[in-house]
Amino acid sequence: AMSISLSSLSIYLYFYDISWNPLFKWIPIVCMSANVIFYSVGVGPVPFVVMSEIFPPDIRGFATSKIHLLGTSLSFITVKTFPFLTELLGIHGCFLLYAVFCVIFSIFYFKMLPETKGKPLQTILKLFNGEDVTKIKESEFSELVSE
């Protein structure tokens, strides 16, 4: 949905740049508002939810701080490169590039993140280690049942 709102904004800005007099001047506000809303209810909270599910309690604080630092650094890079990208690609090209990144990362999320709902931490860690969790040893099964 974020890619759709950014693509729509890009198309609008392209026509605006070629001296097209738009009748619907509210479109950029709607597109950016939709983008913020979709981020807030979609991919925005995903790293924090995943972090709480995949890290053992003894390293959760450390890992969370490092991932938060990475996210903040990527936001900083996005803000700092915006003027350069706007100069290079035009404002419409910059938003189109952001839309393409949204599509790429959406595919990455769907392909790489396993479903963790209702699974114990040991099973989730095995999923991320690439182990086959469909074949649970009898001792592990009794351990899971006793929890």
pLDDT in tens, 1-56: 899 999 999 999 998 888 777 778 899 999 999 999 999 998 888 878 878 777 88
Q: Are residues 99 and 43 in the same domain?
A: yes
The pTM assigned to this predicted structure is 0.73
Residues in the chain: 147
Return the exposure string of 88-105: e unless at least 16 CB atoms fall within 10 Å of the residue's CB, then b.
eeebbbbbbbbbeebeee
Please give the Cα distance from 20 to 12 (Å, whole number). 9
Q: Are residues 54 and 120 in the same domain?
A: no
Q: Are residues 33 and 101 in the same domain?
A: yes
Q: For residues 96-105, give the mean pLDDT.
A: 94
Task: Please report the DSSP string for 15-54 in residue order.
Answer: HHHTT---S-TTHHHHHHHHHHHHHHHTTSSHHHHHHHHH
Q: Are residues 72 and 142 in the same domain?
A: no
Please give the Cα distance from 13 to 107 (Å, whole number). 26
Helix (H/G/I), strand (E/B), else coil: 60? helix
Give the max Cα distance, the chain: 71
| 60 confidence band (pLDDT: 50, 70, 90) | confident
Whole domain around residue 120: which residue ranges?
Answer: 114-147
Q: Are residues 12 and 80 in the same domain?
A: yes
Would you call 45 exposed, middle or buried from its count of C-beta atoms within 10 A (0-12, 13-18, 19+)?
exposed
pLDDT higher at 117 or 106: 106
Q: Are residues 104 and 142 in the same domain?
A: no
pLDDT digits (tens, 9 = 90+) for 64-99: 899 889 989 999 999 999 999 999 999 999 999 999
Q: Are residues 73 and 136 in the same domain?
A: no
Would you call 131 exposed, middle or buried from its count of C-beta atoms within 10 A (0-12, 13-18, 19+)?
exposed
Would you call 138 exposed, middle or buried from its count of C-beta atoms within 10 A (0-12, 13-18, 19+)?
exposed
Q: Are residues 103 and 130 in the same domain?
A: no
| 125 confidence band (pLDDT: 50, 70, 90) | confident
Q: Count structural domains, the chain.
A: 2
Q: Are residues 86 and 21 in the same domain?
A: yes
Q: Are residues 43 and 94 in the same domain?
A: yes
Q: Are residues 128 and 105 in the same domain?
A: no
